[in-house]
Structure 1
Amino acid sequence: MIAYMKAFKFILPLSLIIGLGSCDSFLDVQPRSSISDAQTIVDKASAETAINGVYDSFRSYYSVDFQSIGYLSGDNIQWTGSQSQIQEFINHRVNAENSTVASVWSGIYSSLNRINHVIEKVPAVQDALLTDALKNKIVGEAHFLRALAYFDLARIWGGVPIVTKPTGSPSDNRGIERATQEQVYAQVLADLNTAEPLLPATTDRFRATQKTVWALKARYYLYQKDYAKAEEYATKIIADAASYQLVKPYNAFFANDARGTTESVFEIFYSVNETNGHRGQWQPQEKGGTRQWAPNDAFVALVNNPEIGGNRSTLVAKDNQGRWYGNMYYRSPATDPTFVIRIAELYLIRAEARANTNNLTGALADLNAIRERAGIAKSTAATSEQLLLAIENERRVEFALEPHRWFDLVRTGRAAAVLSVTDANRLVLPIPAEQLLIDKALKQNPGY
Structure 2
Amino acid sequence: MKKQLYNITGLLVLLLVFGCKKSFLEMDPQSTLTAGTFFKTASDIKQAVNGCYIPLRDMGRIDYWLFGEMRSDNTGFQFNKENRGLETQREFVDEFLTGATAESVLDLWQRSYSGISNCNDVLGSIGGITMPDSAKNQYTGEVSFIRAFHYFTLVRQFGDVPLRLKSVNSPAESRSEGRAKTDMVYATIIADLKEASAKLPVKYGSTDAGRATRGAAETMLAEVYMTRKQFDSAATVLKDVITLGYSLQADYKSIFDPANKNNSESVFELQYSGILPELASSFMYTFAPYTSGSVVTGDVNTGMGVDNGWNIPTQDMLDTYEAGDKRKDASLATGFTDATGFVNIPYVKKYNWGFVAPGRTNVNFIVYRYADVLLMLAECLNETGQGAQALHYLNDVFGGASIRGRAALAPITVTDQTQLREAIAHERRVELAFENHRWYDLVRTGKAVDVMNAHGVQEKQLKSFIPAAAFQVTANKLLLPVPQREVSIDNLQQNPL
TM-score higher than 0.5: yes
Looking at structure 2, the residues matched to 45 and 70 of structure 1 have their Cα atoms a distance apart, in angstroms, of 35
Structure 1's unaligned 5+ residue stretches are 13-25
Amino acid at match of 1:278: F
3-state secondary structure, aligned to 1:298: helix
Correspondence for 2:146? 145
Q: Does 1:394 align with 2:427?
A: yes
Amino acid at match of 2:373: L
Q: What number of residue pairs does the alignment pair up? A: 421
Amino acid at match of 2:362: T
Q: How many angstroms does 1:75 deviate by? A: 0.6
3-state secondary structure, aligned to 1:403: coil
Q: Which of these residues, 236, 261, 276, is aligned with residue 232 of structure 1?
A: 236
Q: How many angstroms does 1:149 deviate by? A: 1.2
Amino acid at match of 1:444: Q
Per-residue CA deviation, residues 235-284 of structure 1 (Å, 9 max, x unaligned), is 112233xx311112211111364211111001111112211243321134
Correspondence for 2:323? 306
Q: Does 1:109 align with 2:141?
A: no
3-state secondary structure, aligned to 2:76: strand
The more displaced of 181-190 and 212-221 is 212-221
Correspondence for 1:66? 64
Per-residue CA deviation, residues 384-421 of structure 1 (Å, 9 max, x unaligned), is 00011111111111122111111111111111221126
Q: Which of these residues, 417, 428, 435, is aligned with residue 479 of structure 2?
A: 428
Distance 1:189 1:38, change over 3 A: farther
8 Å CA contact 2:210, 2:271 repeated in 1: yes
3-state secondary structure, aligned to 1:40: coil
Distance 1:422 1:58, change over 3 A: closer
Correspondence for 2:216? 212
Q: How many angstroms does 1:319 deviate by? A: 2.3
Amino acid at match of 1:295: P
Q: How many angstroms does 1:220 deviate by? A: 1.3
Looking at structure 2, the residues matched to 366 and 197 of structure 1 have their Cα atoms a distance apart, in angstroms, of 26
Amino acid at match of 2:49: I
8 Å CA contact 1:157, 1:428 repeated in 2: yes
Q: Does 1:443 align with 2:493?
A: yes
8 Å CA contact 1:85, 1:99 repeated in 2: yes
3-state secondary structure, aligned to 2:410: coil
Q: How many angstroms does 1:54 deviate by? A: 0.3
Correspondence for 1:294? 312
Looking at structure 1, the residues matched to 192 and 201 of structure 2 have their Cα atoms a distance apart, in angstroms, of 16
Distance 1:256 1:312, change over 3 A: farther
Correspondence for 2:457? none
Amino acid at match of 2:255: F
8 Å CA contact 2:258, 2:363 repeated in 1: no
Amino acid at match of 2:150: A
Q: TM-score, normalised by structure 1?
A: 0.88
Amino acid at match of 1:446: P
Per-residue CA deviation, residues 181-237 of structure 1 (Å, 9 max, x unaligned), is 111111001111222222224357511222222111111111111111111111112
Distance 1:76 1:197, change over 3 A: closer
8 Å CA contact 1:206, 1:266 repeated in 2: yes
Amino acid at match of 2:42: K
Looking at structure 2, the residues matched to 320 and 41 of structure 1 have their Cα atoms a distance apart, in angstroms, of 55
Q: Which of these residues, 350, 358, 373, is aligned with residue 328 of structure 1?
A: 350
3-state secondary structure, aligned to 1:78: strand
Distance 1:122 1:38, change over 3 A: farther
Q: How many angstroms does 1:43 deviate by? A: 0.6
Looking at structure 2, the residues matched to 75 and 254 of structure 1 have their Cα atoms a distance apart, in angstroms, of 22
The more displaced of 92-101 and 352-361 is 92-101
Looking at structure 2, the residues matched to 345 and 271 of structure 1 have their Cα atoms a distance apart, in angstroms, of 25
Q: How many angstroms does 1:314 deviate by? A: 1.4
Correspondence for 2:450? 417
8 Å CA contact 1:217, 1:230 repeated in 2: yes
Distance 1:175 1:111, change over 3 A: closer
Distance 1:267 1:191, change over 3 A: same
Structure 2's unaligned 5+ residue stretches are 20-32, 396-401, 454-471
3-state secondary structure, aligned to 2:269: strand
3-state secondary structure, aligned to 1:320: strand
Distance 1:306 1:248, change over 3 A: farther
Amino acid at match of 2:53: Y
Q: How many angstroms does 1:37 deviate by? A: 5.6
Q: How many angstroms does 1:47 deviate by? A: 1.0
Q: How many angstroms does 1:298 deviate by? A: 2.0
The more displaced of 67-76 and 31-40 is 31-40
The more displaced of 341-350 and 360-369 is 360-369
Looking at structure 2, the residues matched to 157 and 186 of structure 1 have their Cα atoms a distance apart, in angstroms, of 16
Q: How many angstroms does 1:9 deviate by? A: 4.2
Matched-pair identity in %? 29
Q: How many angstroms does 1:373 deviate by? A: 2.4
Q: Which of these residues, 23, 43, 46, is aligned with residue 44 of structure 2?
A: 46
Distance 1:132 1:364, change over 3 A: same
Per-residue CA deviation, residues 363-383 of structure 1 (Å, 9 max, x unaligned), is 122223422221111123231
3-state secondary structure, aligned to 2:337: coil
Per-residue CA deviation, residues 335-377 of structure 1 (Å, 9 max, x unaligned), is 1111111111101110110110111111122223422221111
Q: How many angstroms does 1:301 deviate by? A: 2.9
Q: TM-score, normalised by structure 2?
A: 0.79
The more displaced of 255-264 and 139-148 is 255-264
8 Å CA contact 1:315, 1:326 repeated in 2: yes
8 Å CA contact 2:96, 2:473 repeated in 1: no
The more displaced of 76-85 and 397-406 is 76-85
Distance 1:168 1:278, change over 3 A: farther
Correspondence for 2:26? none
Q: Does 1:263 align with 2:257?
A: no
Correspondence for 2:90? 86
8 Å CA contact 2:258, 2:362 repeated in 1: no
Looking at structure 1, the residues matched to 62 and 97 of structure 2 have their Cα atoms a distance apart, in angstroms, of 20
Looking at structure 2, the residues matched to 386 and 239 of structure 1 have their Cα atoms a distance apart, in angstroms, of 29
Correspondence for 1:18? none
Q: How many angstroms does 1:85 deviate by? A: 1.4
Correspondence for 2:124? 120
